[in-house]
Amino acid sequence: MTQKIRWGIAGLGNIAHRFTKDLIAHVENGELFAVAARDLGRAEEFSKQYGCETSYGSYVELANDSNIDAIYVATIHPFHKELIKLFLKNGKHVLVEKPALTNLADWDAMAALAKSNGLLLAEAMKSVTFPAYRAMKQFILDNKVEITSVEASFGNWHEYDGAWHLFNPKLCGGATLDVGVYGLWLYADLCRLAGCAINIPTVEYVQDNEQSKVDENATFSFDDPLKGRICASITRDLPRNAIIRGPELEIVMHEKWWSSSTIDITYQGEVTQIAMPIKGGGFANEIEHFSSLLQNNVHQSDLLNHETSRNVVRVMETCLNRGGYASLVQSSEK
């Protein structure tokens, strides 16, 4: 497949707008073909804004469109499984927003469905597709650098609103699933790079609003073989640098580390700075990567790989279950 990948978008909230802007303006191997929402009027309004000719008022119609190659699932995560299943069963490759799924059973089922249908399924963790991050990993490999610890935080203050999805347990809100997934992906990806097993961490949960039914602050502490301290919050502003250490090594991914274009590496007394811009608004690199895989008939991504997605959802599910937040990771498929 050498032609441009024809994309459909399911769910038309804020993140879908950001994705679409990059797809239109910064991606050469993909194009917007159709959009869908549960409300046709909303889909038509979205299409008008971006010059898209095809709008659907249901996800089933989007799934049945034989002209579409790949679908970006941009709904909130409680609805991911039913949509992933729908699109895979209708022969569509799927890029799904993070967290892709909230429990291991659902991830394994969807990964198996993708494999059995010869389709590409990937979690949209765009941070690992950025040029600076990829160059940092290559530096680690080329220099046979040992990593011993990873520290990363992702947190922003939000005023409590129990009806908003971030604080709504019925919509699988909370810090772990909304922003903790970023730091856990970083940790798990570096464990994979280093060939380290990922053990279940200890977790400290702290609430800032006593009426809240979701985890507002979570600190994950990993022991050997690779130590890690991953912090997540939906009620506090947290530091935005990530720090990776090892013998004679310190790597600083500058803020925002999950969208870092500048990374400083101090190794054996020498300083190397990686400065590589992110294309567009942050979505173009992952769209190009996914589209390129399809053009080359490749149905597994080494960057957005299943092993890391599986490890991350395993950690999130186990920790939330143990912390008393089991309802947040239950499948909500209708």
pLDDT digits (tens, 9 = 90+) for 165-221: 999 999 999 999 999 999 999 999 999 999 999 999 999 999 999 999 999 999 999
Give the mean pLDDT of 246-254: 98
Using a pLDDT cut of 70, give the percent of the chain over it: 99
One domain for residues 241 and 121: no
Mean pLDDT of 77-100: 98
Domain residues for 194? Answer: 131-277+311-329
Residue 255: the pLDDT is: 85
pLDDT(333) > 80 = no
CATH at 219: 3.30.360.10
- Look over the chain and give the mean of its residue pLDDT values, rounded to a whole number: 97
Q: Are residues 143 and 236 in the same domain?
A: yes
Q: What is the pLDDT of residue 10?
A: 99
pLDDT number for residue 123:
99
Among the candidates 92, 126, 160, a domain finishes at 126
pLDDT digits (tens, 9 = 90+) for 146-159: 999 999 999 999 99
Res. 75: pLDDT tops 80: yes
> Is 31 found in the same domain as 147?
no
What CATH number is attached to the domain comprising 29? 3.40.50.720
pLDDT at 120: 99
- Number of folded domains that form the chain: 2
**Can you tell me the mean pLDDT for 43-55?**
98
Let me know whether 229 and 269 are in one domain: yes
3-state DSSP call for residue 289?
helix
Q: Which pLDDT score is estimated for 330?
A: 83
274-280 own/partner pairs: CB under 8 Å, 24+ apart: 274/132, 274/135, 274/136, 274/139, 275/132, 276/130, 276/131, 276/132, 276/135, 277/131, 278/130, 278/131, 278/132, 279/22, 279/26, 280/21, 280/22, 280/25, 280/26, 280/27
Q: Residue 264 half-sphere exposure, CB side, CA atoms within 13 Å?
A: 10
Query: Looking at this protein, which amino acid is placed at residue 262?
Result: T
Query: What six digits make up the tokens of 233?
Result: 């919050």
Q: What residues pair up with 96 in beta bridges, in sequence order?
A: 73, 123
- Residues 44, 59: one domain? yes
Q: How confident is the model at residue 332 (pLDDT cuts 50, 70, 90)?
A: low
pLDDT > 90 fraction of the chain, expressed in percent and rounded: 97
What value, to the nearest 5°, has the Cα angle with vertex 290 and ends 275 and 240?
A: 40
**Confidence at residue 52, expressed as pLDDT on a 0 to 100 scale:** 97
pLDDT band at 101 (very low <50, low <70, confident <90, very high): very high
Q: If pLDDT is split at 50, 70 and 90, which confidence band does 2 have?
A: low
Looking at 75, 102, 126, the residue that finishes a domain is 126
Nearest-5° angle of CA 292, CA 251, CA 200? 75
The residue whose two tokens read 């570096």 is: 190
Residue-level pLDDT at 50: 98
Q: Band of the pLDDT at 236, cuts 50, 70, 90? A: very high
Question: Side-chain half-sphere of 53: how many Cα atoms within 13 Å?
Answer: 5
How confident is the model over 177-192, as pLDDT tens digits?
Answer: 999 999 999 999 999 9
Total residues belonging to the chain: 334
**Residues 99 and 188 sit within 8 Å (Cβ to Cβ):** no
Gap between the terminal Cα atoms of the chain: 35
Q: Are residues 253 and 184 in the same domain?
A: yes
1, pLDDT greater than 70: no
Best CA proximity match to 86, nearest among 102, 106, 104, 110: 110
**pTM of the predicted protein model:** 0.96
The one-letter amino acid code at 258 reads: W
Nearest by Cα to 10 from 106, 83, 107: 83
Residue 258 has pLDDT above 60, yes or no: yes
Q: Residue 298: what pLDDT?
A: 97
